[in-house]
A and B are shown apart, each in its own frame.
Chain A
C-alpha cells in the first residue's frame, strides 16, 4: 500500500474502487497495444494494400479486391488470433492459480491432447473443416471429464492429484497422437502437423472465440479477489471465508471450456498460455484482479502480431503461428526474468 492511503481506514482500503484505480494505467496501455496489434494485423499481409486504400476499405469503400483481402481474409483472421491469444493467456493464468504451479499452462491437464486426437481422427477420415472443429471440441470435453472424474476418485482431492492425473492423461493422448501420425497416410501429415503446431488457417469465424473472451472477462474478473486469496493457499483461503472447493472446480471447468474454444478455433497453439501470465506478473505484480484482464489483452496482442509475422515472413510460404509465438516470447520472457532478479 502506498503512503497516500495511510490515513484511510482499513475498510475503505479494501474497497475495490481504490484498489482498481492503480489498474487503470497498465490496462489502458495494454488496450492501446491490443488495438494497435489488430490494426497492424489488418494492415499488413503478403499483398501490399496502400494506407489510403486501407482507409477506404475500413470506411466502407475501396476496390472489391482490397475489400476481399482486408474484410474477408485479414480481419476475421486477426480477430480470431486476438481472441484465441486472449483466451489461452487467461486460461493459463487460471491454471497457474488453481494448481499453484508456475509450469501450469492451459494444456497441462491433457486438454489439447484430447482435442488433437479428435481433430486428427476427423482429418484421417478426410472430413471437412467444420467436422474437424467439432471433433476437436468433443475431444477436449472428453479429456476434461476424464481428468475430472479420475482426479475426483474416492479419496480427497488436491491440486497435486489433479496435476498428476492430467499429466498422465496428456501422456496417454500423446501416445495416441504419435500412433496416428505414424500410421496416417503421408498426404494428410502436413495438415495434421500444422494443426498440432497451431495455425490460424483453421479459424473460420472469430465470433465464437470473441464472444467467449467477452463472457470470460465479465465472469472471471469479479473473482479476482478470491483468486488472490486462493493463490496464497487453500487453508488461508478457507479461513478467510472463500468457498475453496467450489471455486477450484469452477476454475477448472471454466479454464477447460476456455481452452477448448481456443483449441477448436486454431489448433493447439503453444507458449501463449504459459508465458504471457508470467510476463505480466513480472511487470505488474501478482494481483489476479489485474493479471486476468491484462492477460486477455496481452495474450491477444501477442498472437495477433505473431500471426501477422507467420503470414508475411517468408510469404508466399506460410508458417504455423506456434513457431512465431515462441520466437517472440522466449527472448522477451528471458529478458524480463533476468531483469527481475
Chain B
C-alpha cells in the first residue's frame, strides 16, 4: 500500500513538475549500494563534497571519476599527484573531527580496519553519509570502483575502469598463473621483521604470478617473524617494499646469508610499496612488476 501511495504521489509530483528532467521516483532513491560492512548506503543527489579517510580510498575515488569532488583526505594520500593538494583532515589513525565536520561532507569513505571505530561511529551518528570500505581481493577493488561510481553518478567511467581492471588482472593470471611456482618471501617491514599471510592482497598478487608465499600458512594477516624462520623456509626470491618509493636498502641485510637460495641467485627484488600494498587499480602495475621479477627468478634456475 505504502509503495503504491508513493508511486501515486510521485506520478502527481511528476505531472506538476512538468518539463523538468528526471523522474521524482528515481531522484528520491537515486543511488543505493551495499558497502563492505554490509550496510546500505544511499544518496539522493550526486555528492559534491567527499572526504576519503585512507590513501587507498582517495585513489579509488579518483579512479571512479569522483576525484574532483574530494574536499578532504588523510596524511600520505599521494596518488594521483592531484591528491597531494587536497586538504587533510588528520591521519587515518586519528581524524580531526572538527576539520572533517567543517568541510560539510555529503559522503565520507571510511576504512574499516584503519580508522578508529569510535570515530567512524561518531561520523555516522552526526548524520553524515558514510561508506565503509575494506577491499580484500582483486574483485573487491573492481566492485568498490563500481559502487563508488554508482554513488558519485559516474557509473559509466567507473564501470569501464572496473572492467579494464578485471581484464588486466585476468590477463596477468593467464600469462603467469600456471608458471612453475617460485617460493617467495615478501618483507613488509624490517624492524620488527614482518611479512604477510595468504589472505593479504600482496600474497594474492604473488599467486597471480605463480609465486608461493612461504609464510602463507601463518594465522595473522601481517605476522611478525624472525630471521631464523626465513632461513628455515629458504625462499627462492625475497621481495621487499621500503621506506620510500625507491629505497631498496631493506634488501641489503639479507646478503650476509649465503645459505639462502634467494641470495645465491641474487633474487632480491624491490617493489614500490604503494603500488602493491594499497587495494587500488594500481595493483595491476605492482602485479606486473612482481611477475617480471619472478619470471627473472625462473630464468636463473
Q: Is A316 an interface residue (CB 8 A)?
A: yes
Q: Chain B contacts of A128 at CB under 8 A?
A: 117, 121
Given A128-B117, A191-B93, A318-B94, A185-B222 contact (CB < 8 Å): yes
Q: How many A residues have CB within 8 A of the partner chain? A: 32
In angstroms, how far is the closest chain B Cβ from the Cβ of A119? 11
Give CA–CA (A128, B117) in the complex, Å: 6
The reply to whether A129 and B117 form a contact with Cβ atoms under 8 Å apart is: yes
Q: Chain B contacts of A199 at CB under 8 A?
A: 94
The reply to whether B98 and A311 form a contact with Cβ atoms under 8 Å apart is: yes
Q: Is B224 an interface residue (CB 8 A)?
A: yes
The A/B interface has a contact count, at CB < 8 Å, of 83
For A44-75 the 0/1 string (1 means CB < 8 A from B) is: 01110000000000000000010011001110
In angstroms, how far is the closest chain A Cβ from the Cβ of B31? 24
Closest B residue by C-beta to A193: B93
In angstroms, how far is the closest chain B Cβ from the Cβ of A127? 8
The reply to whether A188 and B113 form a contact with Cβ atoms under 8 Å apart is: yes
Best-buried of B88, B117, B119 by chain A (most CB within 10 Å):
B117
Q: Chain A contacts of B98 at CB under 8 A?
A: 45-47, 69, 73-74, 311, 315
Give CA–CA (A47, B104) in the complex, Å: 12
Give CA–CA (A187, B115) in the complex, Å: 9
Q: Is A190 an interface residue (CB 8 A)?
A: yes
The reply to whether A183 and B101 form a contact with Cβ atoms under 8 Å apart is: no
Give CA–CA (A69, B98) in the complex, Å: 6
Given A46-B96, A190-B93, A204-B118, A72-B126 contact (CB < 8 Å): yes
The reply to whether A316 and B99 form a contact with Cβ atoms under 8 Å apart is: yes
Q: How many B residues have CB within 8 A of the partner chain? A: 29
For B92-109 the 0/1 string (1 means CB < 8 A from A) is: 011111110110100000
Given A183-B220, A185-B220, A318-B101 contact (CB < 8 Å): no
Q: Is A182 an interface residue (CB 8 A)?
A: yes
Cβ < 8 Å to A, chain B residues 218-237: 220-222, 224
The reply to whether B93 and A194 form a contact with Cβ atoms under 8 Å apart is: yes
Q: Chain B contacts of A226 at CB under 8 A?
A: none
Q: Is B116 an interface residue (CB 8 A)?
A: yes
Cβ < 8 Å to A, chain B residues 55-99: 75, 88-91, 93-99
The reply to whether B99 and A315 form a contact with Cβ atoms under 8 Å apart is: yes
The reply to whether A65 and B101 form a contact with Cβ atoms under 8 Å apart is: yes
Q: Chain A contacts of B91 at CB under 8 A?
A: 317-318
Q: Is A135 an interface residue (CB 8 A)?
A: no
Give CA–CA (A191, B99) in the complex, Å: 20
In angstroms, how far is the closest chain A Cβ from the Cβ of B6? 28
Give CA–CA (A187, B188) in the complex, Å: 13
In angstroms, how far is the closest chain A Cβ from the Cβ of B219? 9
In angstroms, how far is the closest chain B Cβ from the Cβ of A3? 55
Q: Chain A contacts of B220 at CB under 8 A?
A: 183, 185
Q: Chain B contacts of A186 at CB under 8 A?
A: 194, 221-222
Closest A residue by C-beta to B121: A129
The reply to whether A185 and B94 form a contact with Cβ atoms under 8 Å apart is: no
Q: Is A173 an interface residue (CB 8 A)?
A: no
The reply to whether A202 and B221 form a contact with Cβ atoms under 8 Å apart is: no
Given A65-B101, A201-B94, A129-B118 contact (CB < 8 Å): yes
The reply to whether A194 and B102 form a contact with Cβ atoms under 8 Å apart is: no
The reply to whether A68 and B94 form a contact with Cβ atoms under 8 Å apart is: no
Give CA–CA (A195, B117) in the complex, Å: 12
Q: Chain A contacts of B99 at CB under 8 A?
A: 46-47, 315-316
Q: Chain A contacts of B119 at CB under 8 A?
A: 201
For A120-143 the 0/1 string (1 means CB < 8 A from B) is: 000100101100100000000000
The reply to whether B117 and A317 form a contact with Cβ atoms under 8 Å apart is: no
Q: List 17 A-B contacts (CB under 8 A).
A: A45-B98, A46-B99, A47-B101, A65-B101, A68-B101, A69-B102, A129-B121, A185-B221, A187-B222, A191-B93, A194-B94, A204-B122, A315-B96, A316-B95, A316-B99, A317-B75, A317-B90
Known pairs A47-B99, A123-B117, A199-B94. 10 more at Cβ < 8 A?
A47-B101, A65-B104, A129-B121, A186-B222, A187-B221, A191-B93, A201-B116, A204-B118, A316-B89, A318-B96
Where the two chains meet, the residues of B that have a C-beta atom closer than 8 Å to any C-beta of A are: 75, 88-91, 93-99, 101-102, 104, 113-114, 116-119, 121-122, 126, 194, 220-222, 224
